[in-house]
Amino acid sequence: MMSKGINKVIVLGHLGRDPEVKLFDNGNSICNLSIATSETWKDKVTGEKRETTEWHRVVLNNRLAEVAAQYLTKGSKVYVEGKLKTRKWQNQLGHDQYTTEIRVNVMQMLDARSGANTDAPSSNGTSYQHPEEQNYPNEYLAPNTPEYQNNQWEDDIPF
């Protein structure tokens, strides 16, 4: 069987700024996030510690957008899964521009929320998904999410 391809992105990082939310007259909403992922290493020549940061444009729709707007702030640690999408648009001069972003279908907040808000997610992380994306096979779910834990096999493996 020939596969047409897989478009899947997983990012775990920190928000570089507060979520930007837009509400529409039809009741839909969209949220834009900027997530930073960093790697560190020791330079073999100089021995000094080096670091590089990659910034990711992230877009959430409807209920995911509302949850992100309510609970996430600059610096929040978040896990997202989605797919890459490239959009074409025109700048003020009429030139074509392209933007590649991650369209999220799974989000897990990994920080405890400060303050006494009892509606806030717990410190062990809270996962949100679009309803049509709820039945991923185990290999597509993040460990430590309720969806992953509820999908575990019931069999005892004899080794």
pLDDT tens for residues 128-152?
555 444 444 444 444 555 544 454 4
pLDDT digits (tens, 9 = 90+) for 69-97: 999 999 999 999 999 999 998 999 999 99
Q: Is residue 34 packed enough to be buried (19+ CB in 10 Å), middle (13-18) or exposed (0-12)? A: middle
Residue partners of 119: CB distance under 8 A and separation at least 6: none
pLDDT of 54 above 60: yes
* 23/43 Cα distance (integer angstroms): 46
* 24/2 Cα distance (integer angstroms): 40
Alpha carbon 108 to its chain centroid, in Å, reads 7
pLDDT band, very low/low/confident/very high, at 27 (cuts 50, 70, 90): confident
Do residues 31 and 59 lie in contact, with contact meaning Cβ atoms separated by under 8 Å?
yes
Q: Which residues pair with 67 in a beta bridge?
A: none
Mean pLDDT of the chain: 79
pTM for the predicted model, two decimal places: 0.67
